[in-house]
Structure 1
Amino acid sequence: MALNRYSGMQEGMPNSFSSMLDRFFNESVNSKNVSGFTPHVDACETEKSYEIEVALPGVRKENINIDFHEGRLTITGERSLEKKEEGRRYHMLETQYGSFSRTFYLPDKVSPDKISAHLEDGVLMVTVPKDEHKTMRRQINISSANDNKNKGSEGKASEGKGNVAVESGKSKK
């Protein structure tokens, strides 16, 4: 008995042009000749960090490499087919094997020395904390030539409405 993949096709003919394209791309992308794959990723931003979840079932942490360089976070690795048993002949092999690489471009406001990664149940979770010093909001004073003349005549800076002190990212008047 042979196991055949059900594709919804009557006698091998597509029902529509769309299903014909789906069949073409699915069969060509999932062929055994492909030497790599692209894992699925969920990426989000929180108030304090960027979080990247990568679906890597069957991949050991020893086979994963995470690199951060010039604002680029690159996750590379490999999932190899280790099911080579005598007397076993596959009729269907939909799991993707081979090497993979995913690169994410992050803004300048991250702390690369605090990036962490955790692999559990086939999901790699990478947390990239934001750098609080770079994300701080500040109010900037605008000075003019008149302000400098007033400073010189009084001997000290005036404490009027125009001056704003910045303390830990929050402005005070």
Structure 2
Amino acid sequence: MMPATFSTMLDRFFNDTMMTRSQLTAFSPKVDTYETEKSYDIEAALPGLKQEDIKVNFDQGCLTISGERKFEKETDGRQYHRVESSYGSFTRSFQLPGAADPGKIDASFDNGVLHIHVPKNGHKPTQHQIPIHAGHNGH
């Protein structure tokens, strides 16, 4: 009996977990939310995304983060045996308690983490798109 080649062994080992582009799992970013005396804060882990790939909107008390993490690793004849990272479009929405002033919501993106700071106040919520600026260590 001939010994299996390294490539054949790899193929057999990863056979059950091989993923094609159509099988990539949907990307749903991990989010931490917390409240202080003066604000609501949201931090979303968005590794591999660029600032321009992310949108933050506020509409009638609902804050929405959306974007897309694209699979761009199919280059130079590589044959992936395992892809555990998640890819695809995502939308995460958060209904904020109380009122917030959309003009004072601040969003920053630094080292793959989106931080949204929502000050508490007594103004009536309206609609607003929040610009995202680079964090302190961003490029």
- Could you tell me the TM-score, scaled by structure 2's length? 0.71
Larger radius of gyration: 1
Say what the alpha-carbon RMSD is for the aligned residues. Answer: 2.2
| Residue of structure 1 in register with 2:116 after alignment | 126
Question: What's 2:68 paired with?
Answer: 78
Confirm or deny that 1:97 pairs with 2:87. yes
Gaps of 5+ in 2: 1-5, 124-139
Q: Secondary structure at the match of 2:52?
A: helix
Contact 1:72 1:105 in 2 (8 A): yes
Find the aligned partners of 2:60 and 2:24 in 1 and give their Cα distance: 30
Matched, 1:45 2:35: yes
1:107 aligns with 2:97: yes
C-alpha contact (below 8 Å) 1:49/1:129 kept by paired residues: yes
Contact (CA 8 Å) 2:61, 2:99: kept in 1 or not? no
Shift of 1:111: 1.8
**TM-score, normalised via structure 1 length:** 0.58
Structure 1 residues without counterparts, runs of 5 or longer: 6-11, 13-26, 135-173
Higher RCO, Cα 8 Å, sep 6+: 2
Q: Is the 8 A contact 1:118 1:125 kept in 2?
A: yes
> Is residue 36 from structure 1 mapped to residue 36 from structure 2 by the alignment?
no
CA shift digits 1:117-159 (9 cap, x unpaired): 111111100101101x46xxxxxxxxxxxxxxxxxxxxxxxxx
In 2, Cα distance between equivalents of 1:77 and 1:36:
12
Report the count of equivalent residues. Answer: 110
Asked if the contact 1:35–1:99 (Cα under 8 Å) also holds between the matched residues in 2, the reply is no
Structure 2: which amino acid aligns with 1:83? K
Which letter does structure 1 place at the counterpart of 2:62? R
Percent of matched pairs sharing the same residue: 46
Runs of 4+ off more than 6 Å: none
